[in-house]
Chain A
Amino acid sequence: MMLFKLSLKNIKKSFKDYTIYFFTLVLGVAIFYVFNAIDSQTIYMDVTSNMAEIIKLMTSMLSGVSVFVSFVLGFLIIYANRFLIKRRNKEFGVYLTLGMSKKKISLLLFFETLFVGLISLVVGLGVGVMLSQAMSLLVANLFEANMTDFAFVFSTSACEKTLLYFGIMYLLVMIFNTINISKCKLIELLQSNKKTEKIRLKNPVLCTIIFILSTFTLGTAYYLVTGGIDHLDNANKIFIPIAMGIISTFFIFWSLSGLLLKACMSIKGLYYKGLNSFTLRQISSKINTTVFSMTVICLMLFVTVCVLSSALSIKNAMTANIRELAPVDVSFSKYLYHENSVFDVNTPQAVLDDAKVSLKETLKNHGIDINETFKDVVEIPVYRIEELTMRATLGEQLDEISKKFKYLNYDNEETIITVSDYNKIAKLYGNETYSLNDDEYMIIADFDSMVEIRNMALNEGVSITINDKTYHPKYTECKDGFVEISSNHINDGIFIVPDHAVEGQIPFHELMVANFKETSREGKNRVNDMINKKINSAWNETTLTSVNTKIEITDASVGLGGLVTFIGLYLGIIFLISSAAILALKELSESTDNKERFQMLRRLGADEKMIHKALFSQIAIFFMAPLILAIIHSIFGIKFCIFILETFGRKGLLSSIIMTSIFLVLIYGGYFILTYICSKNIIEEN
C-alpha cells in the first residue's frame, strides 16, 4: 500500500516530466480509436452498394495498418519510457541505499506504468470518442455521402481493440522496466547524474570530406528518382536511390553536427555574440549524440510529407477528374463484327448476331427503352485500320522513341474517329470542336506520357496513310480531349480524320453516350443498377457491349480517394507524432542539466529575454534540422510520386501540399511549442 501511495506521489511530482509523454499517449490512443471506429460511422451513411464495398475494403486496410501503427507506437512508448526512467536513476539509487529491494522498485514502477497507462487510456478514449464525432463529418464529406442522421457513435469494437493493443504495449513497458531495474547496479544509478560526457570535436577535414561525399550521393539519388527516370521496370530503380538517401542522410547529420559548429566558431563576430556560443554548443552536442535519431526522424517526416501529399493529391485529382472526365451519365461501347477482331470460333452465335446490329438495337433487345431512359443521345462509329499502327504514325521518330520506351507495343492499331462524329461528342461534353481540311488529321489525347510521344511525331509533321491517301497533321501537338467517360486521364490517342477518309469502312466499335432522364439521386441510382444488371450480365453471352456509368466512376474515384486519404492521414499523423515526441523527449530529458546551465547564465547577468531566446533557438534548431532535410527530400520525393501517379493528373497537388503543411505545422509545431513551454517552466522553477 505504501508503494501504491509512493508511486502516485511520484507521478504527481514528476508531472512536468510526464506532460509530453502523457500527451503523446493520449494522442496515440485517441488517433488509434478514431481510425478504428470509422466503420461504425459509415453505418449511418446513405451509400450505394459499390461504395459500401469500398468502405469495407478501407476498414480492413485500416485495421491492417493499425497493426503497423501499434508497432510504431509500441517502440515510441518504450523509447519514451526509457527516457523517463533514466532521468530517475538517482532516485532509484537512493531507494536502494535506503534498503528498498529491487523487486519493490520494480513493483513501484509497475504501479506507475499502470496508473499512467490507465489514465491515458481513459482520457485518450474520451478524446477519441469526441474526435470521432467530428471525424464522421469528414467521412461523410470524403465519401460524398448524405448523413441520414447525426447520431452520437461509440464503437465498442474500436474501444476493445484500443484497450487490447495498448494493454499489450503497456505490458511490454512493464516487462522492459523490470528487466532494466533487475540488471542495473547501485553505483551506476547513483552516479548517473554526474556528467562526465566527453566533448569531442570531430575532425573538420574528415567532416568536410564526408559531407561532400554524402551531398553528392544524395544529389545522385535525387537525380535517379526524378530527371534520370522515364519508366519504372525494375524495383532496383527505386530501392537503390532510397538506400543511397538513407545512408547520405545519416552522414549529412553526422558531418554537419561537426562542421556547423566549426564554421560558426570561425565567424568570431557571430560566435562571441550574446549567448550564441552557448546555444551553438548546446545544439551541436545534442545533434552529436542523436545523429541516429535525427536520421530516423528526418526519414519519418519525409515519408509523412510524401504519403500525406500524395494521398491528398490523389483524392483531389480524382474528385476533380470526375467532373471533367465524366460529363455524361453513361457510355456504351460495342464491338461490331469485323474479321480481324475479338470474334473467334468460340464466340456464341447470339453474340455474333448481335455484333451485326446497331447499338440502339442491342439495348432494345436487352430490355432498355432508349427513349424512356435517356436523353442527349449521341451514337458514333469508331474505326481501326490494319495499316495504321502506332509504328506507322511515328515516322522517323520511331527509332528514338522505341529506344526510350522499349515496352510499348508499336503494332497496335490506332483508334480513328471522323471529325464530324468527334464534334458531336465534343459539343455534348462542352469540349472544343475542330474542323479539318481534306488532307489533314489531328490527335486527341490526354494521357501525359503518350501525349509526349505523339507530340514528337506531330512536331516533325509525320504524315499518315489511310486507304492510300496521305494526311498531314493540322497541329504540331495533341489536343486535349476524350470520348469515353472515365475516372482518369487515360486517352492515349484518337486520330481525328476528315469524314471521307473512312467512308465505306466497317466500324470496329460503336460508341454511344447519353444522360439519364431521371434527375433525382435515387432515380439515377435505380437506372444505374438496372443498366448494370442488364448489360454486364450479358457480356459474352448475348453481346459484347461494355458500359461505363458516371455513378460507378464517381463511386470508385471517391471511394478510392477517401481510402487513400484515410490511410495517408492515419500513417502521416502517427509518424508526425512519433518523430515530434522523440525530439521533445530528448530535449526535455536534458532539462535538468539545462536548468543548471541557464541558472549559471542568469548569475552572469544574462537577461531573461536573452535566455528565452537562447532556449528558443536551441529547441527550434533541434526541431528544424531534421525537418529541413526532410523537406528537401520531399521536393524530390513528391516529384517521384507525381511521376508514379501520373494518370491522376497533378491538379490537386498544390492544395494537398498546403494541407500537408497545415498538418505539419499543427502537430510538429504543436510539439515544438509544448516542448519550449515545458523547458521554459523547468529552467524557471526554483
Chain B
Amino acid sequence: MDINYNEFEGREIMEPILKIQNIEKYYGSRSSLTKALDGISMDVNAGEYVAIMGASGSGKTTLLNVISTIDRVTSGHIYVADKDITKLKGNELNRFRREELGFIFQDFNLLDTLTAYENIALALSIQNVSPKEIDERIKKVAKELSIKDILSKYPYQMSGGQKQRVASARAIITNPKLVLADEPTGALDSKSSKMLLERFNYLNKELGATILMVTHDAFTASYASRVIFIKDGKIFSEIERGDDDRKEFFNKIIDVVTLLGGDLNDAL
C-alpha cells in the first residue's frame, strides 16, 4: 500500500501546526543500540485528529515523548507553530509545555491528593490564571465533558472513564495548540472507551482541538481522521479517513494491521 499523502483535494491545505523533520532517537550504548525512532517525518495540521498506531516497542511512546519535550531527539527537528522545540531549554521548555500542549496518558493521569476540580485547576494556576477565571473555565469544560457531578471527587472515587474525562478536561482547558494522548483508552473497558472517544471527537469537531493520539488498538484509531502506522521506529504507512464512515475506516485500518503482521493487540 502506498502513502496517499495529497490525495484529498477537498480539504483546504492548512498551515501545519506540527512539523516533524527526519527525527532520530537512539537509546543505549554503541554496543547495544536501539533505534527507537529512525528518521520519522510528518506534519499535523491545525484541527486534525491523528492517530499513531504500531506494535508494542515500535516507538510510539518515544515519538510522543519527544514531541512533548519530555525526551530529547538524537537528531532532526520538530516545529510546533513554527517554533523549533528541539532547541528549547530549561524553563522555555516548561513554558512551551504548559502553554502549547495538553496531555492525556494511559494511567497516572491525575494527582491522587487533589479533587477533580483541583486537578483541572492546577493546569491553569500554573499559568497564573486568576481563581475567578479558573472557576468559569472549569464550569464550561465540565459541561462539555459531562463531568460536572464528579468535580468534587478524588481520583480514587472515580471510574477509569471518569478519570480519563477529567484528564481530558485538564488537557484542553488551557486551549493548547496540540493535545497529546498516549493510549488514552488503554485502561478502559469498551463502553468507557467509546464514550471517551466520542468526547475526543467532540473536542476535535466542536472545539477545534488538534489531537495526536497514540494507540495500538484499531477500534480506538478508527475515531481519528488520519492514521499513521509506525514499525521499528519508521513510518510504515498512512491512511486518511476521508468520507468513509467509522466502520469502513476501521476495516481499512485492520487491512494495514494485517499487512503489518498480525494483530497489534497480540504483540503487546
Contacts of B109-141 to chain A: CB distance below 8 A:
109-114, 118, 121-128, 130-132, 134-135
Of A183-191, A194-202, A565-573, the one with at least 4 CB within 8 A of chain B: A194-202
B70-A278 in contact (CB<8A):
no
Shortest CB distance B199–A (Å) = 20
CA distance A179 to B132 in the complex (A): 55
Whose C-beta in chain A lies nearest to the C-beta of B102? A604
Kindly list chain B residues whose C-beta atoms are within 8 Å of the C-beta of A103. Answer: none
Contacts of A594-631 to chain B: CB distance below 8 A:
596-597, 599-610
Given contacts A195-B112, A281-B113, contact A603 B68 (CB under 8 A): yes
Q: B156 near A: Cβ within 8 Å?
A: yes
Shortest CB distance B179–A (Å) = 13
Chain A at the B interface: SS class: helix
Given contacts A606-B94, A608-B94, contact A273 B128 (CB under 8 A): yes
Whose C-beta in chain A lies nearest to the C-beta of B110? A600
Given contacts A198-B156, A272-B131, A603-B103, contact A278 B114 (CB under 8 A): yes
A605-B126 in contact (CB<8A):
yes
Q: Mark B86-100, 1 if CB is under 8 A from A, else 0.
A: 000011001111110
Given contacts A276-B125, A596-B108, A604-B126, contact A281 B118 (CB under 8 A): yes
CA distance A271 to B132 in the complex (A): 12
A282-B91 in contact (CB<8A):
no
Q: B26 near A: Cβ within 8 Å?
A: no
A607-B91 in contact (CB<8A):
yes
CA distance A243 to B139 in the complex (A): 50
Kindly list chain A residues whose C-beta atoms are within 8 Å of the C-beta of B118. Answer: 277, 281
CA distance A604 to B99 in the complex (A): 9
B122-A277 in contact (CB<8A):
yes
B131-A600 in contact (CB<8A):
no
A600-B111 in contact (CB<8A):
yes
Q: B101 near A: Cβ within 8 Å?
A: yes
Kindly list chain A residues whose C-beta atoms are within 8 Å of the C-beta of B132. Answer: 268
Q: B154 near A: Cβ within 8 Å?
A: yes
A604-B122 in contact (CB<8A):
yes
Q: Mark A493-511, 1 if CB is under 8 A from B, else 0.
A: 0000000000000000000
Q: A269 near B: Cβ within 8 Å?
A: yes
B113-A600 in contact (CB<8A):
no
B97: which of A268, A273, A596, A605 is its contact (CB, 8 Å)? A605
Kindly list chain B residues whose C-beta atoms are within 8 Å of the C-beta of A600. Answer: 108-111
Q: A275 near B: Cβ within 8 Å?
A: yes
CA distance A326 to B118 in the complex (A): 70
Whose C-beta in chain A lies nearest to the C-beta of B98? A605
Whose C-beta in chain B lies nearest to the C-beta of A611? B94
Kindly list chain A residues whose C-beta atoms are within 8 Å of the C-beta of B125. Answer: 272-277
A605-B95 in contact (CB<8A):
yes
B126: which of A275, A281, A282 is its contact (CB, 8 Å)? A275
CA distance A275 to B123 in the complex (A): 9
Q: A546 near B: Cβ within 8 Å?
A: no
Kindly list chain A residues whose C-beta atoms are within 8 Å of the C-beta of B111. Answer: 278, 281, 597, 600-601
Kindly list chain B residues whose C-beta atoms are within 8 Å of the C-beta of A423. Answer: none
Kindly list chain B residues whose C-beta atoms are within 8 Å of the C-beta of A601. Answer: 111, 122, 126
CA distance A278 to B131 in the complex (A): 15
Kindly list chain B residues whose C-beta atoms are within 8 Å of the C-beta of A608. Answer: 90-91, 94
Smallest CB-CB A-B distances: 6 pairs = A605-B98, A605-B97, A268-B131, A281-B113, A272-B131, A607-B94
Can you report 24 A-B residue pairs in the complex whose CB atoms are below 8 A from each other?
A197-B156, A198-B156, A199-B154, A269-B131, A271-B131, A274-B126, A274-B128, A275-B122, A277-B118, A277-B125, A285-B113, A593-B112, A596-B108, A601-B122, A602-B97, A603-B68, A603-B105, A604-B98, A604-B123, A606-B98, A606-B126, A608-B90, A608-B91, A610-B126
